[in-house]
Amino acid sequence: MIDLLMSIVDWVTAQTVLYTMIKIVAIIAPLLLTVAYVTYAERKVIGYIQVRIGPNRVGPFGLLQPIADGLKLMLKEVILPAKSNMYLFVIAPVLAIAPALAAWAVMPFDATLTLANIDAGLLYILAITSMGVYGIIIAGWASNSKYALLGALRSAAQVVSYEIAMGFALVGVLVAAGSLNMGDIVLAQQGGFWHWYWLPLLPLFVVYFISGVAETNRAPFDMAEGESEIVAGFHVEYSGMAFAVFFLAEYADMILISMLAAVLFCGGWLSPFEGTFLADFFAWVPGIIWLFMKTSFFLFLYLWFRATFPRYRYDQVMRLGWKIFIPVTLVWLVVVSTAQVMDVGIWFNEQADALRAAL
């Protein structure tokens, strides 16, 4: 057996695989820890917005609350509904979390810090995140419950609709940057705060982030859960760890969308003081810190939205996606393409020349 394996895999390949595994763990372990503390931050932030204190019993300032929650979920029984489709019921949480984690493979944390620096990185992220909806659909169908099925159908329709608007917003980014590679997109925004794409692509940026909130099924677009209408939507039959995995997937997706917003529209790891007199003063700060700060801001927006807006009505969600966002992105795509051809402003100059040089 070992000989057969050795004949297939040589030493160099084995080493590469091992190193890749270690790198994957180095990304996923902090990610899951962050997920735990995003739940804590969510409860604290919403607590303060609603003039409460939030969790404050377990550990200092309630800091051990996520650990306690995790332990509780692990110890609870996973109930399999009698008439559910057992295999699909069990596999659904896995299908939900796998894309949420796999998408991190191409995320550029710093100039040289990427697990897989592939050429079609943006396209890969779009494709992988579009698979996340299967977890929800299968969970809803396999539960053999009316509420779960309704939640799954709502979610499927919503995610597919908003994916189009989101895809168009990302097309705008790649037209502006002239590349699908995540690292190149960040480098194309070099030159300080006013060079980032949030300004020339402002409509796309807004559409992207709102679609991101809708894609992750978060308030005010949490139609898939809709506690007051369909109990808890697609995961109504799940308990214990199976439920926790859905929870993890949702929060990992939130962090992913926030970090993507930072990378694609807010200069990723680039310092906001680039090109100003403060540039040298902040030169010692590693890029990953800037990226995390930008990501935290977008994550805070998620929590802020949840505490501020009431849930949308379902037909209004669909109207917003199809009749407002898609036309807005289409118009702005034309604007961006024209700007790119005409070398407008500080954003479209060098990239256009670089593109022409490449061709």
Place of tokens 């080493």: 15
Note whether 3 binds another protein by CB under 8 A: no
Among 34, 107, 158, 163, contact with another protein (rule: CB under 8 A): 163
Nearer to another protein, 77 or 315 (CB): 315
In sequence order, which residues have a C-beta less than 8 Å from that of residue 92 and are 6 or more positions away?
Answer: 135, 136, 138, 139, 142
* Cα–Cα distance, 164 to 97 (Å, whole number): 22
Binding piece for another protein, criterion CB under 8 A, among 132-140, 270-278, 284-292, 295-303: 132-140
Residues numbered 171-210 forming contacts with another protein, rule: CB under 8 A: 180
Residue of 73, 136, 44, 66 lying closest to 99 (CA atoms): 136
Going from the C-alpha of 347 to that of each of 20, 191, 310, 341, the distances in angstroms are 36, 9, 37, 12
Give the nearest distance from C-beta 137 to another protein in angstroms: 6
Note whether 86 binds another protein by CB under 8 A: no
Q: How many residues bind another protein (CB under 8 A)?
A: 35
Nearer to another protein, 64 or 123 (CB): 123
In sequence order, which residues have a C-beta less than 8 Å from that of residue 315 and are 6 or more positions away?
Answer: none
Among 128, 186, 224, 248, contact with another protein (rule: CB under 8 A): 128
Among 30, 146, 319, 346, contact with another protein (rule: CB under 8 A): 319
Give the nearest distance from C-beta 236 to another protein in angstroms: 16
Among 111, 120, 288, 344, contact with another protein (rule: CB under 8 A): 120
Note whether 133 binds another protein by CB under 8 A: yes
Going from the C-alpha of 212 to that of each of 42, 88, 282, the distances in angstroms are 17, 27, 31
Note whether 57 binds another protein by CB under 8 A: no
* Cα–Cα distance, 224 to 210 (Å, whole number): 16
Q: DSSP 3-state assignment of 190?
A: coil
Note whether 249 binds another protein by CB under 8 A: no
Nearer to another protein, 307 or 318 (CB): 318
- What are the structure tokens assigned to 337, written together? 């393409």
Residue 348: CB atoms within 10 Å: 23
Q: DSSP 3-state assignment of 9?
A: coil
Among 8, 22, 75, 82, contact with another protein (rule: CB under 8 A): 8
| Continuous segment of H or E residues that includes residue 75 | helix 65-75
Note whether 46 binds another protein by CB under 8 A: no
Going from the C-alpha of 204 to that of each of 22, 165, 196, the distances in angstroms are 36, 9, 13
Amino acid found at 46: I
Nearer to another protein, 142 or 252 (CB): 142
Binding piece for another protein, criterion CB under 8 A, among 157-165, 273-281, 290-298, 299-307: 157-165
Note whether 149 binds another protein by CB under 8 A: yes
**Interacting residue ranges for another protein, rule: CB under 8 A:** 8-10, 13, 85, 88, 118-120, 123-124, 126-128, 130-131, 133-134, 137-138, 141, 149, 152-153, 156-157, 159-160, 163, 180, 315-316, 319, 358-359
